[in-house]
Chains A and B, each alone.
Chain A
Amino acid sequence: MVEHTTAATHAVVTLDVALPGIIWGWMITLNMWAKSIGTGAVLIGVYLLKKYGDRVESIKTLMPVVSFIFLNIFLLFTLLDLHQPLRMWHIFFYPHWTSAITVGAWLATIFTGIIFVMAAGRIMRKVSDEQYNKLMWAAFIFAIPVTLYTATIMGEASARELWQTPTELLQMALAAFIGGSATYLIFGIGDREIKRDLAIVLAVSAALSFIVYMGEYYFGAMKAEEVAATIAFVKEGGSYHTMFWVGQTLGYILPVVFVIFALRTQSNSLLALASVLALAGLWIAKHVWLVIPQLLNLS
């Protein structure tokens, strides 16, 4: 453990360069957050359409429109975060396929194209039901890797021991389920049964996400010295302690509690509130997790 090593040697850095600070900041958080809504709207939307058919007819337009808007936010901030945004085309002309960034960029571009055709087709009434169905399934299939690929980028970021692909894959999937279900609850889609379904998806995803974070919080330090040093930033006395708990409370704890009350009292406004909180908390939780490994001195 780091504390033990330091105590044993009484070693203190007496001359060194300044730490580089946070390189992937709020734009990357916004990127992940918007992507969760953009893909979640499709994953949950297709589920609703398959299960409830005509009872959720309105989402046939809403789903691709919401998805398209959030995918564009995601793509815009991905671009803005580049230090050389005008060279983005290099990814398509000089692709390096071992990089999850490359694979993700290609998948996200194809996915956004499909969503655009679906949204435009519905709005301009230029797409038949049969064509829409085909596009919908293509979108559903692409939504899965587009949701998940960021976890692989985080895994490839070998310097950040905190981010492990298997855990992040789960967190990305749960974030998409939260994003999708919360969006439809805010729009007040469907009758009581459908809302109940969405509320359960929201609450279960939030609860599972919270459990994974708690697993990292309490047991992550056992894995590696670097994880212990990173987790210390969110533990008591750490610079991100408060923000971490604000994120966990808004994003996961309160939505679960509110969903339980909302289902008992059949309150739609409480469901909408739970959804808004979940989306706000999701942003904060993701941001803290993105930033804390970057506070560590690597050399």
Chain B
Amino acid sequence: MKLGFLVDLALCMGCKGCEVSCKVENEVPLGMWRLRVKYVDVGTFPETKRTFTPLRCNHCENAPCERICPVSALHYLENGIVNVDKERCIGCAGCVMACPYGAIYIDPETNTADKCTYCAHRIAGGMMPACVVACPVEANIFGDLDDPTSNISRYIMEHQGNVKVRKPEKNTHPKHFYTSGGEVNLNPLASKREEGYNLFNNITHLKHVGGH
């Protein structure tokens, strides 16, 4: 079994329902994100368009975060999920340096690494990840990539030529796919980011407890 994700960007309407449900389900602390929806505006007025891209851990098959972790706190589950053992983590932040997608943060409450686990605890109980359930337009498709009859496998087959991953040149073999996505959605360097004009610029970060 190899669990994977696919987001159909043509369906996503940027409601951030997935983002909120993830925060609640996983008690993600203030200022930290396991999943977020990024808005990028494209074009020149009046010919403009807004794009929405949900971004989370890719559960890479060749994960640099797992490789660099000195104590195997980041490890593979049998279903392909890259999981975090918070009791094992020493907080060296090697994984934060290694993940090419900025998917890992150091939790200020536990002083350990954390990230999207595809809601491994829910999967173990036979449930879907919280973000999949919350999405009103079913833009998040989740399932077993090894099973050719699963929703996700069928979706990938049907959209051949239109399925992409982020930064394929990094050789990480992401298990998280996007359809109808372009450079602007998937490459952070393809858009200009002007600091000081975002909604969350003055976001309050929790101080690290006992850390630095």
Contacts and interface: CB of A to CB of B under 8 A. Distances in A.
A and B: bona fide binding partners: yes
Given A82-B90, A91-B90, A23 B96 contact: yes
Contact of A91 (B41, B70, B212): B70
A156 B190 CA distance: 25
- The listed residue with most B CB atoms (<10 A of its CB), out of A17, A88, A94, A102, is A17
Interface residues of A, number: 49
A83 B91 contact: yes
Nearest to B111: A83
Interface in A63-106: 80-85, 87-88, 90-91, 94-96, 98-102, 105
A84 B89 contact: yes
A84 B112 contact: yes
Given A18-B31, A99-B69, A13 B193 contact: yes
B100 A9 contact: no
B68 A13 contact: no
A229 interface: yes
A10 B47 CA distance: 11
Contact of B39 (A10, A15, A20, A99): A15
A100 B69 CA distance: 9
Interface in B69-119: 69-72, 88-94, 96-103, 105-106, 111-112
What does DSSP make chain B's interface, helix, strand, loop or mixed?
loop
A160 interface: yes
A18 B103 contact: no
Nearest to A99: B70
A297 B203 CA distance: 17
Most chain B beta-carbon neighbours within 10 Å: one of A18, A23, A159: A159
A244 B192 CA distance: 24
A94 B111 CA distance: 19
Given A96-B72, A98-B67, A157-B68, A11 B103 contact: no
Interface string B40-69: 111110000010000100000000100111
A265 interface: no
29 contacts: A9-B43, A11-B41, A11-B190, A12-B40, A15-B39, A18-B198, A20-B102, A23-B93, A24-B97, A83-B90, A83-B112, A83-B208, A84-B91, A84-B112, A87-B71, A87-B88, A90-B88, A91-B71, A94-B72, A95-B70, A96-B70, A101-B68, A156-B94, A157-B98, A158-B99, A158-B100, A298-B101, A298-B102, A298-B188
Interface of B: 31, 33, 36, 38-44, 50, 55, 64, 67-72, 88-94, 96-103, 105-106, 111-112, 166, 170, 172, 183-184, 187-195, 197-201, 203, 205, 208, 211-212
